[in-house]
């Protein structure tokens, strides 16, 4: 009866949980962008998504991937000789001259802060020799290092190409990975940069309106804009309110300000509804099959401020759900081996000391008597043998 009651409760909980997951998925933020993703920058938890795995075109958000790949593979103080191919690039530039010699880090700054397409190609050619080879290596890097699955780039700048695509989720994962590098983070958050090139000496200013303060959001710490006529408006943004850090990506907004309004909606939603907590080392989570799992070390997780549910599967994957049953994050726990049952040693009951002494005396007396009898028999046989002789 007890087992039947437990099973019934589990079934009711499962149905209740599934109902709320479905209900939560129906709710949508009022975003005008066609695709969006909001991540916790520290834990990687997905806090909100809209068409997040739909194939989209990133425009200059591509330069985020180009930058982190170049930073990890190249030498920042290396002097790059700018090619004619780089100089002839369409779109936004930092007006490099053919044959100009520029440090790799300066090219990265010109590419990320001013979105220079000429700088992007100069970086690609310096790292891998040519744009096609750079694109191939970049795609392999993104798959192997970051784990993206729906991204394919054909150039380092983001100029439109039908085979140059990504998704909001992949772009958020790439950005989230990149900002953990201090060099990238520094450039990504640069608002104004003195530029001293052969043909252009000026202060270049980030194109990201939230970062430079034109679209007020003080918590913003970094960002990159993108636009082509085919791609429409794209935006990647990072923000920090002192309690939680967020990464937001929006793709394909029709109007320039729409991407900032959508990003504001996403960041407000993240800051208002989520917080960090820690699962302590050794804390035990038990499955329905009575298996026990726990983290090997203290583990930072994201949970909804209104409360959360934690369910662990038989493979040790812990699902953290909000109070509406919507999945926030999953973390892998370690199986806790049950302690082996101790086999009690079989002890021989101890006898009373006095009784034991009495038994020992009786045994000794028995042996003495037996020896005397044997000696008497032997003596008798010897005497008999002498008489016969």
Give the residue numbers marked as catalytic: 60, 63, 115
Torsion angles phi and psi, residue 238, rounded to 5: -120, 150
User: Which residues lie closer than 8 Å to 40 by C-beta, 6 or more apart?
Assistant: 47, 244, 245, 246, 247, 270, 274, 276, 302, 329
The owner of tokens 């590419």 is 111
The CA dihedral of 326, 267, 39, 181, to the nearest 10 degrees, is: -160
B/e letters for 353-371, b = 16+ CB within 10 Å, e = fewer, are eeeeeeeeeeeeeeeeeee
Q: Which two tokens stand for residue 222?
A: 């970094």
Assign 141 to helix, strand or coil: helix
In angstroms, rounded to a whole number, what is the distance separating the alpha carbons of residues 262 and 200? 35
Contact 333, 312 (CB under 8 A): yes
B/e letters for 119-149, b = 16+ CB within 10 Å, e = fewer, are bbbbbbbbbbeebeebbebbbebbeeebebe
In angstroms, rounded to a whole number, what is the distance separating the alpha carbons of residues 153 and 150? 10
CA-based radius of gyration for the chain: 38
């Amino acid at each position: 009866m007890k087992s039947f009651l437990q099973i019934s409760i589990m079934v009711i909980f499962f149905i209740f949980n599934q109902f709320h997951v479905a209900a939560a998925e129906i709710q949508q933020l009022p975003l005008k962008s066609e695709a969006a993703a909001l991540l916790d920058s520290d834990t990687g938890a997905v806090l909100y998504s809209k068409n997040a795995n739909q194939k989209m075109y990133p425009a200059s958000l591509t330069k985020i991937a180009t930058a982190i790949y170049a930073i990890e593979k190249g030498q920042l103080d290396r002097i790059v000789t700018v090619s004619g191919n780089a100089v002839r690039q369409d779109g936004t530039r930092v007006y490099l001259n053919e044959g100009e010699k520029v440090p790799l880090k300066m090219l990265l700054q010109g590419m990320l802060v001013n979105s220079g397409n000429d700088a992007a190609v100069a970086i690609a050619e310096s790292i891998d020799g040519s744009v096609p080879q750079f694109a191939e290596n970049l795609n392999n890097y993104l798959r192997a290092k970051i784990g993206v699955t729906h991204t394919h780039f054909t150039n380092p700048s983001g100029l439109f190409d039908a085979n140059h695509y990504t998704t909001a989720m992949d772009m958020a994962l790439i950005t989230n990975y990149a900002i953990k590098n201090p060099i990238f983070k520094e450039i990504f958050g640069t608002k104004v940069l003195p530029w001293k090139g052969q043909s252009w000496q000026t202060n270049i200013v980030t194109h990201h309106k939230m970062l430079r303060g034109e679209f007020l959001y003080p918590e913003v710490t970094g960002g990159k804009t993108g636009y082509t006529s085919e791609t429409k408006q794209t935006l990647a943004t990072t923000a920090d309110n002192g309690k939680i850090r967020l990464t937001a990506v929006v793709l394909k907004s029709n109007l320039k300000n729409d991407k900032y309004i959508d990003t504001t909606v996403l960041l407000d939603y993240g800051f208002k509804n989520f917080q960090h907590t820690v699962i302590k080392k050794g804390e035990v989570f038990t499955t329905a099959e009575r298996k026990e799992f726990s983290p090997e070390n203290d583990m930072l997780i994201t949970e909804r401020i209104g409360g959360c549910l934690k369910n662990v599967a038989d493979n040790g994957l812990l699902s953290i759900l909000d109070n509406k049953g919507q999945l926030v994050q999953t973390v892998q726990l370690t199986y806790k081996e049950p302690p082996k049952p101790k086999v009690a040693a079989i002890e021989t009951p101890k006898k009373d000391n006095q009784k034991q002494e009495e038994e020992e005396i009786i045994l000794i007396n028995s042996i003495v008597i037996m020896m005397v009898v044997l000696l008497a028999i032997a003596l008798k046989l010897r005497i008999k043998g002498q008489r016969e002789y």
